[in-house]
Chain A
Amino acid sequence: MKYVAPSSAEEVSRILVGENGISKILAGGTDLLVQMKSGLIEPDLIVDIKKIPETKEIKSMDGGFRIGAAVSGSEVKDHTGLNRLVPGVVEALDLIGSTQIQGRCTMAGNLCNASPAADCVPALAAVEASANIVGPKGNRKCKIEEIPISPGKNSLKQGEFIVSIDIPDRPPHSSDAYLRFTPRTEMDIAVVSAAVALSLTKDGVCENARIVLGAVAPTILFVEDASETLIGTKLDEVSLQKMSDQCEAACNAISDKRGTISFRTEVSGVLAKRAAKIAYKRAGERS
């Protein structure tokens, strides 16, 4: 196995294109090293992207933020601006693993790993974040929900990698929330999760809503009809219940060692409802 740590994104792309064997990007390594340990993958080349300056920064951009692909969870958690803009995304990232994992794990890694249970992916999709991709044919921008295509598979092409993630500015009275269900309080993988991003009018009427579920389908699930149900409401119990039922109806879950179809389906609605209430309260408090 070879290890390289280039200092520019273009160099990374060049190296990736030139490698015939299995190459892997190393940012936080919290998934990669686990997969290597278990023998699941045996890379021929590891490309460490942490020497590239832009992967290490959080930059303000038109009210939103650009988060480098090697920025760790704990750096995001400590960032005041992100906490104010997208508390749901921050809490999603904060739920990954443990304090130790937080010190290393990254949003981009969580995204590229393409697990349907990845915590920050539903949260990022809910706030309409996008990924900046560098590749041999130049740079491109891609919606978050278009990156994972099936469990363990992403849409990046040969030589491409994510260099940063953009979170756009949010209108006034907007906020988000993320909840997941795990048997333990920490150190666990989401059995089911829900991210809700809301924008309200001054009077607290929902103007825009995006509800995204995790771990209930092969990829994250943006539930359009459930989102629309909340628009024009103040999240009264009837609307919430309808939204929750629509979430359950949208689920295409599996039974595995972590949960059953019925559990995932039933709890997705519960979490969506609870997350919506939190997001609503936060949005109301944010000017």
Chain B
Amino acid sequence: MSQLHIKSNVNGDDVEFLCEPEETLLEVLRDRLNLTGSKEGCGTGDCGACSVTMNGKLVCSCLVLGVEADNSKINTIEGMADGDKLHPLQQKFLDHAALQCGICTPGILVAAKALLEKNPSPSETEVRYWLAGNLCRCTGYDKIIRAVMDAAEEMRG
């Protein structure tokens, strides 16, 4: 096994790391870069708890190799708030009690942000289908959908 040297940009910061070729981006984020906000719920792309964006595209970081992050821009939950100012989605999740245990929350917030950047005024159905890859076992999704719709409305101004 020989490790590869990767240069990437995570949440606006240039980073370099060494990783094994078989390590996933999720493992790199969590174990090498200490960004544990992205969660592993399944490791097979079925739960969305590890959602990040890679060059602006929403992906499951468990289904991306760490080496593929070379020369890429990665954005994770840790980069969502602007300093001490929460992103409107984060604030609306708190206001609507859209989280119970909170393990799916980082992935859902990252996914919802990607949605609103693509489609600032999604219908309820569009929100539900966009977020279908993010499992939540606590809430039944109701308050999550309301929070996303409300954040979208606020962001539209």
Shortest CB distance A219–B (Å): 24
Interface residues of B in 67-92 (CB under 8 A from A): 67-68
What separation, in Å, do the CA atoms of A36 and B63 have in the docked complex?
10
A5, A28, A98, A104: which has the most chain B beta carbons within 10 Å? A98
* B contact residues around A38 at 8 Å (CB): 44
* A99 contacts chain B at the CB level, 8 A cutoff: yes
Contact among B57, B67, B134 for A74, CB-based, below 8 A: B57
* A257 contacts chain B at the CB level, 8 A cutoff: no
Shortest CB distance B126–A (Å): 11
* A101 contacts chain B at the CB level, 8 A cutoff: yes
Shortest CB distance B23–A (Å): 10
Task: Count how many pairs of residues, one from A and one from B, have CB atoms less than 8 Å apart in the complex.
Answer: 89
* A166 contacts chain B at the CB level, 8 A cutoff: no
Range class of the B interface residue count: 20 to 34
Chain A residue nearest in CB terms to B53: A103
What separation, in Å, do the CA atoms of A103 and B111 have in the docked complex?
12
| Contact (A101, B133) CB under 8 Å given A3-B21, A30-B63 | yes
* A contact residues around B63 at 8 Å (CB): 28-30, 33-34, 100-101, 104
What separation, in Å, do the CA atoms of A50 and B55 have in the docked complex?
14
* A contact residues around B28 at 8 Å (CB): none
* A160 contacts chain B at the CB level, 8 A cutoff: no
B64, A72: Cβ atoms closer than 8 Å:
no
B67, A3: Cβ atoms closer than 8 Å:
yes
B62, A99: Cβ atoms closer than 8 Å:
no
What separation, in Å, do the CA atoms of A105 and B75 have in the docked complex?
20
A30, B45: Cβ atoms closer than 8 Å:
yes
| Contact (A2, B21) CB under 8 Å given A98-B133, A101-B133 | yes
* A186 contacts chain B at the CB level, 8 A cutoff: yes
Q: How many residues of A contact B (CB 8 A)?
A: 29
Interface residues of A in 181-196 (CB under 8 A from B): 184-187
Shortest CB distance A272–B (Å): 24
What separation, in Å, do the CA atoms of A26 and B67 have in the docked complex?
12
* A46 contacts chain B at the CB level, 8 A cutoff: yes
* A48 contacts chain B at the CB level, 8 A cutoff: yes
B130, A99: Cβ atoms closer than 8 Å:
yes
A103, B132: Cβ atoms closer than 8 Å:
no
A2, A28, A184, A187: which has the most chain B beta carbons within 10 Å? A187
Interface residues of A in 30-54 (CB under 8 A from B): 30, 33-34, 36-38, 46, 48, 50
* A238 contacts chain B at the CB level, 8 A cutoff: no
What separation, in Å, do the CA atoms of A28 and B63 have in the docked complex?
8
A101, B60: Cβ atoms closer than 8 Å:
yes
Shortest CB distance B105–A (Å): 16
B59, A100: Cβ atoms closer than 8 Å:
yes
A104, B62: Cβ atoms closer than 8 Å:
no
B44, B63, B133, B134: which has the most chain A beta carbons within 10 Å? B63
Contact among B20, B45, B54 for A101, CB-based, below 8 A: B45
What separation, in Å, do the CA atoms of A33 and B134 have in the docked complex?
18
A187, B4: Cβ atoms closer than 8 Å:
no
Contact among A28, A46, A100 for B21, CB-based, below 8 A: A46
A1, B58: Cβ atoms closer than 8 Å:
no
Q: CB-defined interface of B125-157 with A at 8 Å, one 1/0 digit per residue?
A: 000011111100000000000000000000000
Q: What are 17 A-B pairs at a CB distance below 8 A?
A: A26-B65, A28-B63, A30-B45, A33-B24, A33-B44, A33-B63, A34-B63, A36-B22, A37-B44, A50-B68, A97-B45, A98-B133, A99-B114, A99-B115, A101-B60, A103-B54, A185-B132
Question: 7 shortest A-B CB distances, which residue pairs?
Answer: A98-B133, A186-B132, A3-B21, A103-B57, A100-B60, A34-B44, A103-B59
B contact set with A: CB distance below 8 Å: 1, 4, 20-22, 24, 43-46, 48, 51, 54, 57-60, 62-65, 67-68, 111, 114-115, 129-134
Q: 16 other contacts beyond A100-B48, A187-B46, with CB at 8 A cut-off? A: A1-B1, A3-B21, A33-B62, A33-B65, A72-B57, A97-B133, A99-B58, A99-B115, A99-B130, A99-B132, A100-B51, A100-B58, A100-B63, A101-B133, A103-B57, A104-B63
